[in-house]
Structure formats: structure tokens, C-alpha cells
């Protein structure tokens, strides 16, 4: 049997260790939202290789989707911090993101109804974190917040120090440890 847990861990690490995905995001919460969503997708993509015994073959099978995921994360990050972009630049980045979404979801995937209008409203939002969460919600996928009303992470206890936010990674590694 293939070591699926190791594949999932490696896929998650490939997202977390990619500094370019965070560059330009000056908001830690926005970066965490983006990385949590990316790690969730990476875990899903790794799980899709469960029936492939050979790890190298599994890596090759997942590579196009992992590449698309990194491209999607970069496009969404860029859109979330975009200021004074031309209509053509915005449109080109959106088309790129939609192409990556079709690789991740499958070629039959369609964006939500009135996608461009929704994106136009989102891009008028000043807060990069709200922009990013709304864009992630539009693209869908694992752990995507609802498009109109992003759900906050659940607070967790940290031993009396006060509530903290637990992202996907925290939940993921806690499950791996059996906690």
C-alpha cells in the first residue's frame, strides 16, 4: 500500500514552503487563509493518488494539478492586493485563475453565475483579507469559505492563554497525531 500520509504531508509542505505564495501579502490572516486553502487542496490532490502504488508515478500524476494549484494561489494573492490595475490586467489574471480552476476541478467546472460582476464587487473592497476570502469562496474547493459570508476559523483553547485561530494545517496535523 502506498504511503498516503507521506504524500499528503509532502504536498502540504510544498505549499507552505513556497515563499512566493505569501510575498506581497502584508496581512498574516490573509496569508493564513490562502495557505490553509492551498494545503487543503494539496491534501485532496494527494489523496486522489491513493490507488497508485509507486510514489514517483503518483507524483507525476499529481504534478499538473499541483502546478495549477500554485498558479491559482498566486493569481488569487495577486488579485487580493491589486491596486490601480488596468481592466486588461485584471481580466487576464482572472482568465488565468479560471484556467487553473478547470485543471483543479475538472474541465467541466463552471464559475459561479455572474462571476465577473462578483469579482468586480470584491475588488472594490479595501481589505485584502476580505478580498482574498471572497475570491477563494468563488473558486470553491476544499475548505473554501462561503463566497458572500466567509466563515471565521473556530477558536481553540491554548491552555488558558486565550482563544486562538486554528487553521487547516493545525487540524490536519492534529488528526495525523490522533488528537
Lowest-confidence region among 10-19, 22-31, 43-52, 158-167 = 158-167
**What number is the average pLDDT over the span 144-150?**
49
pLDDT top residue among 159 and 112: 112
In three-state form (DSSP H/G/I as H, E/B as E, the rest C), the secondary structure along 162-178 is CCEECCHHHHHHHHHCC
CB 42 within 8 A of CB 15: yes
- Please tell me the pTM assigned to this model: 0.77
Place of cell 473554501: 144
pLDDT at 145: 57
Q: Does the pLDDT of residue 173 top 80, yes or no?
A: no
CB 104 within 8 A of CB 52: no
Structurally, the chain folds into a number of domains equal to 1
pLDDT at 62: 95
Q: Does the pLDDT of residue 92 top 90, yes or no?
A: yes
Residue 134 domain boundaries: 4-176
Grid coordinates given for 168: 487547516
At 152-162, the pLDDT tens digits run: 333 333 444 44
pLDDT at 144: 62
% of the chain residues with pLDDT over 70 = 78
Q: Which alpha helices (DSSP H) does the chain contain, by range? A: 4-16, 28-47, 55-81, 87-105, 115-123, 128-139, 168-176
Q: Does the pLDDT of residue 136 top 90, yes or no?
A: yes
Amino acid at each position: 500500500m502506498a504511503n498516503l500520509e507521506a504524500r499528503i504531508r509532502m504536498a502540504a509542505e510544498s505549499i507552505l514552503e513556497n515563499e512566493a505564495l505569501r510575498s506581497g501579502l502584508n496581512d498574516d490572516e490573509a496569508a493564513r487563509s490562502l495557505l490553509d486553502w492551498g494545503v487543503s487542496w494539496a491534501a485532496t490532490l494527494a489523496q486522489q493518488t491513493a490507488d497508485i502504488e509507486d510514489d514517483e508515478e503518483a507524483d507525476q500524476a499529481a504534478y499538473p494539478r499541483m502546478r495549477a494549484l500554485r498558479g491559482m494561489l498566486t493569481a488569487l494573492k495577486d488579485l487580493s492586493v491589486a491596486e490601480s490595475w488596468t481592466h486588461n490586467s485584471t481580466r487576464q489574471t482572472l482568465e488565468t485563475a479560471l484556467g487553473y480552476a478547470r485543471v483543479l476541478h475538472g474541465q467541466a467546472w463552471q464559475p459561479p453565475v455572474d462571476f465577473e460582476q462578483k469579482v468586480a464587487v470584491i475588488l472594490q473592497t479595501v481589505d485584502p483579507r476580505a478580498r482574498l476570502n471572497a475570491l477563494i469562496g468563488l473558486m470553491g474547493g476544499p475548505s473554501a469559505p462561503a463566497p458572500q459570508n466567509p466563515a471565521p476559523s473556530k477558536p481553540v483553547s491554548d491552555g488558558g492563554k486565550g482563544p486562538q485561530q486554528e487553521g487547516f494545517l493545525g487540524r490536519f496535523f492534529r488528526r495525523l497525531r490522533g488528537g
